[in-house]
Amino acid sequence: MKFKGTALMAAVFLNLVLYYFFVDLPAKQKEQTEKEQAEKLLPLETGKVVELSLTGNGEPIALKRKALHQWDLIRPLSAPGDATETEAFISEIEDLKKTRVVEENPKDLSIYGLSSPNLKIYFKFENKKEETLLIGDESPLGGSLYFKRESHPAVMLAASSRSHFEKSVYNFRDKTLLNFNTGSIQRIQILREGNPLEFKKTGEAWEISGDIRARGNKDAIMNFLQSIQFSRVREFVDEKPDSLESYGLNPPALKLTLENEKGETHTLSIGHPKEGKGYFSKVNDSKNIVLADTRIFETLSQKTVEFLDKTLLEFEEKEILELSLQSENETIRVVRGESDNWDIQSPIKTATDLATVNSLLFDLKEAQINTFIKISMETPESFGLDAPKKSFSLKMKDSKIWALQLGNQSADGQQVFAQRTGEPTVFSISKEVVDKLFRSLHDLRNKKLLNFESAEVNKIVIQTPDQLFELRKSGPQWSLEKPEKIKTEHIGNDLIWTLKGLEFNSIITPPLPANLSGLNSPLFTIRLFKNDEISALKVGKMFKPEQEYLVEVANQQYRVKNKFLDTIPLSLDKFKLK
């Protein structure tokens, strides 16, 4: 019985909810909508207006909707309309609310300025209906205007001012200077006295030609295009000029041509300035003269260097076969080997430190030019580029060579003058970037002392002058066998990890004799076995000022930082602590 009562209550509750959402709420919403419509001065919806005209103190203005959010100006001339301005104007009227109805059936409209009003706004709707809003005088108290719909007798009062409705042709005319899609532009040409400029896009890359041939900065060129795209007409000067000479447009001082992927072009010609307000301009093949903002002239007058790509080099790491670093002291040549390893071929043949080579390539990819100094270098000796101090080169899979030459430093020592392959431009890059790129042979080479596979080692022998310690591995477990049996959890793996990471700080050349190196009576010797011995090292004297040990591996002597060796256990107590 209790269950039936609960189910009944749930059903009643559900019915109440359904009634609210499907009956009560729609009724309230309808009531609210009707109330809002009743409060409006002129009930209309912006999206349903298809024609609009204004009659005021000046010449009549008429617009017609061409498509969604597209309007054409049809009076006093035919021209594209400003959709944003037009629809904002209609929305403003749509939002007007009447303060009160002044008179339902007035006998004399002249007292309200509505018998022959100066301002009239005509609307035509999608359903073919029409309506005209008459705008009269300001109320005696100010801040409100008298309004009347031509189809209704009532005079209404609403908070507004005549300035909201006194619009010019300029307000409703499309003021876009050039209408184009930035992403579709493939070629840009700027004709100007002295240094014409051209950009061409291939794939995602821009190439500059003109007084210099170089790679373009994608961001700078995109900013340039957007600046042009967002430029607006400040004034419509002359619809049918008798001559272009008076405006400085025959020939123009500047001419911009944009070409898209379909071969379609957009042109902008710039002529004389007008009293600091802008420049007389002509768009495409149109006859009319417009006034463009002063910033458009500045944009088109930018120097070539403003568009140059400041990325030192764009490349894919997998495409590089070889890299060379040349300085006054040595030339280091590094060649890609198998499995994407790198090997040093000169000045010695040895393996590289792969992490260091990858780091160098990463720094090269991130390197940026600081400043472009000279477009064309007539005196290379003034920058130290007649005999470069350093050079950096890459050989690619397609046999192309890219090279960077470095010359003198700037007066403050923070910048280095440089030049790239096949480019006359001189630029500077920071000394910090140069230091990152020019690694030493020691930095680039593999500095690991021992070469073995961790999983292969099953016995470790440590010999000191006093004792011998022997560790053996059974499965994953290491244990000390000599001088006594001790089960250890991690000591073997810790030792393997330490020995695998051993790196030398420098090579001792020529090697020291045994009595001076301490190798005639080493501090300790470590040998690694996989049945037979696979690797070994001897640790000799300590160089105390540098805190480095002399270490011998395969008859070669090295200096190794004490931090690598001081963790190795050399007493039974150390093994027991483990």
Residue ending a domain, among 120, 153, 172, is: 172
Length of the chain: 578
| Residue 487 phi, psi dihedral angles, 5° rounding | -80, 130
Q: Is residue 16 part of a domain?
A: no
Give the Cα separation of 508 and 523 in Å (integer): 18
Q: Give per-residue pLDDT as tens, 405-430.
A: 999 999 999 999 999 888 888 899 99
pLDDT tens, residue by residue, 489-499: 788 888 999 99
Same domain, residue pair 418 and 348: yes
Question: What is residue 549's predicted lDDT score, i.e. its pLDDT?
Answer: 94
191 and 285, same domain (yes or no): yes
257 and 291 part of one domain: yes
Whether residue 289 sits in one domain with residue 350? no
Q: Which domain holds residue 395?
A: 317-444
For residues 218 and 224, give the distance between their C-alpha atoms in angstroms, rounded to a whole number.
10
Cis check for the bond before 251: say yes or no (omega within 30 of 0). Answer: yes
- Looking at the fold, whether 347 and 263 belong to one and the same domain comes out as no
Which range, of 21-35, 208-222, 519-533, averages the lowest pLDDT?
21-35
Indicate the pLDDT class of residue 40, thresholds 50, 70 and 90: confident
In a domain, 13, yes or no: no
Residue 16: which H helix or E strand, with range? helix 2-19
What 8-state DSSP symbol labels residue 448? B
Q: How many CB atoms lie within 10 A of CB 355?
A: 9
CB 324 within 8 A of CB 444: no
Output the DSSP codes for 120-132: EEEEEETTS-EEE
- Looking at 237-381, list the stretches that DSSP marks H as alpha helix, in order from N- to C-terminal side: 294-300, 354-366
Q: Are residues 467 and 550 in the same domain?
A: yes
Rounded Cα distance between 379 and 408, Å, is: 13
Neighbours of 9 (CB within 10 A): 10
pLDDT at position 23 is 59
The reply to whether omega before 388 is within 30° of 0 (cis) is no
**pLDDT, tens only, 215-270:** 888 999 999 999 999 999 999 999 999 899 999 999 999 999 999 999 999 999 99
Is there a domain that residue 26 lies in? Answer: no
pLDDT one-digit tens code per residue, 382-413: 898 888 989 999 999 988 999 999 999 999 99
Residues 328 and 296 in one domain: no
The pTM for the full model equals: 0.63
Q: How confident is the model at residue 88 (pLDDT cuts 50, 70, 90)?
A: very high
- Predicted local distance difference test score (pLDDT) of residue 275: 86
42: which DSSP letter? S
The amino acid at 531: N
Report the pLDDT value the prediction gives residue 7, as an integer from 0 to 100: 66
Domains in the chain, number: 4
Q: In the numeric block, which tokens belong to residue 414? A: 């923070």
DSSP assignment of 480-524: EEESS-EE-SSHHHHHHHHHHT-B-SEE-SSPPPHHHHTTTS-SE
- The answer to whether residue 274 scores a pLDDT higher than 70 is yes
The token duo for 117 is: 């009003």
> What's the CA gap between 477 and 495, in Å, rounded?
13
70-75 vs 61-67, strand pairing mode: antiparallel
